[in-house]
Amino acid sequence: FAGQQDTYLNINGEKELLNAVRNCWASLFTDRAILYRIQNKIEHATVQMSVVIQKMIRPEVSGIMFTADPVSGHRGIVSIDASYGLGEALVSGLVSPDIYKFNKKHNLIENKTIADKKMAILPVKGGGTEKLEITG
């Protein structure tokens, strides 16, 4: 289900938070989410959702860790995708991440690919986010 529902970042105030939670719940019924359930033979009536609310920080880097290699399915390999700023640019496919393949059995990084990063998404003081170009 990763990426099927909407995410709201750097929310300020109770009214904005309540609207973000409602919109997150509503995203369970977007065309994209419904099509995903149809394609994966998931009964609409069985789907439930929880919303996570947590304090926003200004990250230097963010990442996604897969406990099995998402390409090969190998469970002995942990795959980590990382990029500058919030993970939103990463999960929405706006950036090419650095990729680390960690071998659990041998406790070592067996492969790493460092990408040319051109942008990052960062939280803005007062709420919301912005895309920043990376130079140098």
Domains in the chain: boundaries: 1-55, 61-133
Comparing CA positions, the residue from 120, 95, 117, 134 lying closest to residue 9 is 120
CA angle 50, 51, 56 (to 5 degrees): 155
Residue 136 confidence (pLDDT) above 70: no
What average pLDDT does the structure give for the chain?
A: 92
> Distances in Å between the alpha carbon of 121 and those of 40, 48, 60, 133?
31, 29, 10, 9
Residue 11 confidence (pLDDT) above 60: yes
Q: Is the pTM value of this prediction over 0.85?
A: no
Q: What percent of the chain lies above the pLDDT cut of 70?
A: 97
Q: Which tokens belong to 8?
A: 């709201």
Q: Kindly indicate the confidence band of residue 113, based on its pLDDT and cuts at 50, 70 and 90.
A: very high
Domain 61-133 fold: D-amino Acid Aminotransferase; Chain A, domain 1 (3.30.470)
Write down the residue that tokens 């009536």 correspond to.
Answer: 45
How many residues comprise the chain?
136
Q: Do 80 and 65 form a contact (C-beta atoms < 8 A)? A: yes
pLDDT of residue 2: 65
Give residue-wise pLDDT tens across range 19-34: 999 999 999 999 999 9
Q: Do 113 and 98 form a contact (C-beta atoms < 8 A)? A: yes
Q: Which tokens belong to 24?
A: 């997150």
| CA 26 centroid distance within chain | 19
Q: Kindly indicate the confidence band of residue 1, based on its pLDDT and cuts at 50, 70 and 90.
A: low
